Amino acid sequence: MKNWFSKLELPAFIKDSRLTASVVIINVLSLIGAIIGFILSPLYGFGMLALFFLIAGFCIYGTAVLARNANNYAANLSYRIKRGEQEAMIKMPLGILLYDKDRQIQWVNPYLQLYLKNKDVIGMSIKAIDPELAELINQAIESDAKKNQVVTWGHHKFEMVVQNNLGVVYLLDITKYANIEEKYKEQRLAIGLIFIDNYDELSQSLGDQRVTMMNGYIQNALSEYTKKYNVYLKRIDEDHFIWLMHMQDLDEMEKDKFSILDKIRKESNRNNTPLTLSVGIAFGSESLNEIAKQAQSNLDLALGRGGDQVVVKQPGQEARFYGGKSNPMEKRTRVRARMVSQALEELFKGVDQVFIQGHRNPDLDAIGSAIGIAKIAQVHGVKANVVLEDKNLNYDVKKLIAKMKEAQIDKDLFVTPSQAIDQATKDSLLVLTDHSKYSITYSPEVYDALKNRLIIVDHHRRGEEFPENPMLVYIEPYASSTCELVTEMIEYQPQGGEGVLNPLEASAMLAGITVDSKEFSLRTGTRTFDAASYLRSIGADTKVVSEILKESVESFLQRSQLISTIEMIKPDIAVMTGANDRIYDSIVTAQAADTALSLENVEASFAITRRSKDVVGISARSTGNFNVQVIMEKLGGGGHLSNAATQLNDVTVEEAFDKTVAAIEEYIKENTEEED
């Protein structure tokens, strides 16, 4: 019996003290009953003693049976668990591969064997069996990724985990779920807003029959294009359309580079009704309201960059630009200039002081337009100052400031950034002239102090970097200069702007127009000559302009030296570079690019010089056949189709040259593919 009990392994729950106590108590009570029975009656005592032995035997037997059954259950359960593990290892939809230090396969489970086309793989290298799988494993090991990686192997997508220290690869087929996710992404909604840039101007100059034909052409051209890509098109009003599309359709349209822009521009030009489109497309949000707002913002960006282009952008991501090949067309109405002038007048009524600042290293256009804005404010009884320090100025700006000091004109007009910050209040206003990028503004400190009360007046194409919620934006890329825009605003002041500017200030603004239009040879429209004529009529002196713009011998020699370094990287593209250890004036660099453009067979020119210890500047010019703005945007800059620039930090002139050539090559490749 003892041996039998010793062989019997009791489960833990039977060894529980509470169960043992219960058995002992029952047996003790039975024994006490037998003793009492003997006291009362021998016969009754023997009966109770027999009952005691019966209970004791039952307890022993029951415990043994219970222990045996429990052990059998545990053994069966353990077997089933191990069998389940083995079945899961072999049959579950998880591929497992074991390999040794030489990347030879030691074992694969049957599920992974199916993807290896049931080859006999044991002992062979992974690369010999499947080079694609071997490459995926190598990439996972080299990346040392801690998380699961989603990879594409053959026609399937897998979640892959590689434990190189154990020589194990786990592959979970998620193709079904990846397809569902891909389908969801493809079916997301995108909204596009289309604007006909110059519809009003054309409709005013054409007869009713021509306008009807023009409307029919636009509708048919857009309908034909959208039908090709399964896009819903709806005309909202005469010059606005809306697109509704799925992301998969938008992807196809992006691959096509929105060829509808070129088609409408070229065909309408042949019919003497030059039309261009601006489009803003947005996607990526769960809220249709947010998508619609982003689409409108993208359309505003496209218009701010001169129109004839598509801007595709989702909230929080960088914008993608298509088109923008044509020069911005001059508007045939002054309505907007008058409206902006009136809006500016209303805004000045609610401020105590106006500060105006141009871009870093301000030129005559930035300073001249700033002076013009200051004078408009002063006409309405508002104190106005131009933020400018009398150091590190371009030679022409220095001459202008010297002439103003000599003539003792508005001695308190210019203030330093620190003075502006000290004087600014919550009711002060900041006007940015000749730029809209806060990263290149003259004084970031002044900008940060007044960025919630901001006005922008600029003639450059609007970039993706743009201040949030400005109070007024007047950006006209068709204009030759910001001075041209401000001159028109002055004309709409009381009494036709008479008395707003004195002759020297008018000369400063005329100099700004002269510089930015390259002496009325680039981006010059009828409005440019009208503005110059008005400035002449109120006292602008061309002799003073010539004196301000007269070049020093040193700058002439610098420009000549730059031009002597011309390298034709393409048959019609010239690049000039200055010495890496020499600082060049930005005006000299720009003039070198302008001069190179005047040479035979040069359609685009780039001048690369060091501007400071840590900054290299690039000035880009073109005759209009190359969009140098797009090229400069690739390097973080911007500007116009024919006049753009950028600055690169912490690079040598040679490195800047390589980056410029790479950007040019990329631009040419993109446009070649688009034409094909």
pLDDT in tens, 343-394: 888 888 888 999 999 998 898 999 999 999 999 999 888 999 999 988 778 8
What was the pLDDT predicted at 557? 87
Residues of the chain with pLDDT under 50: 1-2, 4-8, 332
Q: How far apart are CA 335 and CA 341, in angstroms?
A: 10
Does an H or E element contain 193, and which?
strand 189-196
- Contact call for residues 190 and 250 (beta carbons, < 8 A): yes
Q: Print burial letters for 277-316: b (CB count within 10 Å at least 16), e (below 16).
A: bbbbbbbbbeeeeebeebbebbbbbbbbbbbbbbbbbbee
Tell me which long-range contacts 174-182 makes (C-beta under 8 A, separation of at least 24): 174/150, 178/150
Helices (H) and strands (E) in the chain, counts: 25, 23
Nearest-angstrom CA–CA distance, 514 and 485: 14
The residues with which 275 forms a beta bridge, in sequence order, are none
CA 9-11-14 angle, 5° bins: 115
First to last CA, the chain: 98
Residue 458 φ then ψ, to 5°: -155, 155
Using alpha carbons only, what angle is made at residue 45 by residues 40 and 49, rounded to the nearest 5 degrees?
Answer: 150
Q: How far is CA 641 from CA 331, 388, 625, 658, 674, in A?
A: 17, 29, 9, 22, 18
| Cβ neighbours around 468 below 10 Å, total | 8
Closest CA to 489 of 430, 433, 451: 433
Q: Which residues lie closer than 8 Å to 174 by C-beta, 6 or more apart?
A: 150, 157, 158, 159
User: If DSSP codes are grouped into helix, strand and coil, which group holds residue 493?
Assistant: coil
Phi first, then psi, for residue 606 (nearest 5°) are -135, 125
Q: Tell me, what amino acid is at 556? A: F
Q: What H or E segment, with its residue span, contains residue 414?
A: strand 414-415
Residue 556 is predicted with a pLDDT of 86
Sheet holding 454-458, edge to edge: 414-415, 383-387, 353-357, 428-433, 454-458, 472-475
SS3 of 444-474: the string is HHHHHHHCCCEEEEECCCCCCCCCCCCCEEE
Domains of the chain with CATH codes: 2-90 (no CATH), 92-179 (3.30.450.20), 189-323 (3.30.70.270), 335-549 (3.90.1640.10), 553-675 (3.10.310.30)
Please write the tens of the pLDDT for every residue from 155-200.
888 988 888 888 888 888 888 888 888 888 888 999 999 999 888 8
Lateral strand order in the sheet of 168-173: 105-108, 94-99, 168-173, 156-163, 149-153
- Measured CA to CA, the distance from residue 313 to residue 363 in angstroms comes to 33
The tally of CA atoms less than 13 A away on the side-chain side of residue 342 is 6
Q: What is the pLDDT, as a whole number, of residue 457?
A: 93
Residues 522, 513: Cα–Cα separation, whole Å: 11
The full DSSP string for 602-616 is --EEEEEEE-SSSEE
Q: What is the DSSP letter of 389?
A: -
What is the Cα–Cα distance from 536 to 540, expressed in whole angstroms? Answer: 5
Alpha helix segments (H runs only) across 517-627: 526-537, 542-549, 553-563, 586-597
Q: Please, is 139 exposed, middle or buried when counting C-beta atoms within 10 Å of its C-beta (0-12, 13-18, 19+)?
A: middle
Give the number of C-alpha atoms closer than 13 A to the C-alpha of residue 137, restricted to the C-beta side.
Answer: 23
Buried b / exposed e across 357-385, counting CB within 10 Å, b at 16+?
A: bbbbbbbbbbbbbbbbbbbbbbbbebebb
The DSSP line for 259-316 is THHHHHHHHHHHTT----EEEEEE---S-HHHHHHHHHHHHHHHHHTTSSEEEE--TT
What Å distances lie between residue 375 and 369, 466, 607, CA to CA?
Answer: 10, 26, 35
What pLDDT shows up at residue 329?
A: 53
Please choose, from the candidates 105, 102, 295, the residue with its C-alpha nearest in 3D space to the C-alpha of residue 194. 295
